[in-house]
Amino acid sequence: MVPLNTADQETPREREEFRRSAPHFADRITADGRDGWPVEAGRYRLVVSRACPWASRALVSRRLLGLESALPVAITDPIQDERSWRFTLDPGGLDPVLGIAFLSEAYDARETGYPGGVSVPAVVDVPSGALVTNDYHRITLDLATEWTALHREGAPDLYPEELRDEIDEVAEGVYRDVNNGVYRAGFAEHQGTYEEAYRRLFARLDELSERLSTRRYLVGDTITEADIRLFTTLVRFDAVYHGHFKCNRNKLSENRVLWGYVRDLFQTPGFGDTVDFDHIKRHYYQVHTNINPRRIVPLGPDLSGWLTPHHREELGGRPFGDGTAPGPAPDGEAVPEQGRAL
């Protein structure tokens, strides 16, 4: 999860209240290694929390592109302590490859005394144990465009060159008003700030609903980076943002178009099979004690609706373009039963 302490806001009141940090470590892993980090199978470890929407982008992209063996993953505990993300889900409380108890140790190996927050997703160089990048915007774009030599056969093109301008434009609005908008509302300290974020969030959702009423995907007729970025917020909406962050004009399940759209993606291999509702709910309700001081985790909502027919195929479109669906999740990466929609 990205720490909330630097600005990308647009209004003076929001600049006073809500700040999301820009990635401090923005190195890139490229096919030609021009930043000093070449694409190399098995060299790096992707550290994620299944609770975090920003990290979930990387999980979805990695699955769709078939990079599981080339870029192994480490899953953190959804509950943080004073040292942030920790590997308490692993035997002995240590990541079995990096040999560390806290992701902060990889940050320290990169920059001693780094004063910023410890965020996921993060890519760590296994030989040195040092962080390479925590640039959540760039990681997925590079997986799609720089790691192509290691993509599975039949991998989709998630960032097609001819559609990049439109993808970027759509994704920017989604980021500002939806991905980040729910946080602006949830962490608002004044009524006016909350109301401004709330209105912009639902105005953007209404615009997206209209756009998706006649097309299956956000850009073109296949899944792209834009869909991944919207999905990871929408899939958390009813479970946490509607109540916990007071984004409660209506539930997503009450919006026919967006509910159909997000279920379509959820039922597409590579999307729903990366979602852990147990991790999501426990993280938000137990870590954000300033919002939920008693740390009570709600039992709802009912998750069975995620697997109901969506009928979005009637709009046409080809989920993977000329490619194919990814296979099942690798051994050890399947979401535990308590976190799945059954």
Mean pLDDT by 10 residues, the chain (342 residues): 43 55 88 96 98 98 98 98 95 98 97 91 98 97 98 98 98 98 97 98 98 98 98 98 98 98 98 98 97 97 97 98 96 95 90
The residue from 44, 107, 159, 183 that is catalytic is 183
Answer whether residue 157 is part of any domain: no
The verdict on 40 and 80 lying in the same domain is yes
β-strand pairing of 44-48 with 122-125? antiparallel
Neighbours of 115 (CB within 10 A): 6
Q: How confident is the model at residue 342, as a pLDDT?
A: 85
The verdict on 142 and 182 lying in the same domain is no
Rounded-to-integer distance, Cα 25 and Cα 263, Å: 34
For residue 7, give both structure tokens: 């600005």
The verdict on 141 and 176 lying in the same domain is no
Could you confirm whether 52 is annotated as catalytic?
yes
Q: How confident is the model at residue 7, as a pLDDT?
A: 34
Rounded-to-integer distance, Cα 233 and Cα 229, Å: 7
The verdict on 38 and 72 lying in the same domain is yes
The verdict on 244 and 294 lying in the same domain is yes
The residue from 44, 52, 247, 284 that is catalytic is 52
Q: How confident is the model at residue 6, as a pLDDT?
A: 33
The verdict on 115 and 254 lying in the same domain is no
β-strand pairing of 73-75 with 122-125? unpaired
Q: How confident is the model at residue 8, as a pLDDT?
A: 39
Domain that holds residue 135: 12-150
Answer whether residue 268 is part of any domain: yes
Rounded-to-integer distance, Cα 105 and Cα 122, Å: 12
Which DSSP state fits 296? Answer: P
Could you confirm whether 285 is annotated as catalytic?
no
Last residue of a domain, one of 150, 179, 209: 150
**CATH number for 223:** 1.20.1050.10
Which DSSP state fits 151? Answer: S
Last residue of a domain, one of 150, 180, 203: 150
The verdict on 224 and 293 lying in the same domain is yes
Last residue of a domain, one of 116, 150, 184: 150
Which DSSP state fits 186? Answer: H
Domain count, the chain: 2
Burial class (CB in 10 A: 0-12, 13-18, 19+), 223: buried
Answer whether residue 55 is part of any domain: yes
Please report the beta strands in the chain, taking only residues with DSSP state E, as ranges in sequence order.
44-48, 73-75, 122-125, 130-133
Q: How confident is the model at residue 113, as a pLDDT?
A: 87
Answer whether residue 159 is part of any domain: no
- Helix, strand, coil content of the chain in percent (nearest 5): 40, 5, 50
The verdict on 56 and 88 lying in the same domain is yes
CA-nearest of 329, 233, 230, 234 to 274 is 329
The verdict on whether residue 54 carries a ligand-binding annotation is no
CA-nearest of 90, 246, 136, 130 to 183 is 246
Its pTM stands at: 0.94
The verdict on 67 and 180 lying in the same domain is no
Q: How confident is the model at residue 5, as a pLDDT?
A: 38
Rounded-to-integer distance, Cα 39 and Cα 27, Å: 12
**CATH number for 132:** 3.40.30.10
The verdict on 103 and 217 lying in the same domain is no
For residue 136, give both structure tokens: 């959540």
The verdict on 184 and 104 lying in the same domain is no
Rounded-to-integer distance, Cα 20 and Cα 3, Å: 6
Q: How confident is the model at residue 17, as a pLDDT?
A: 63
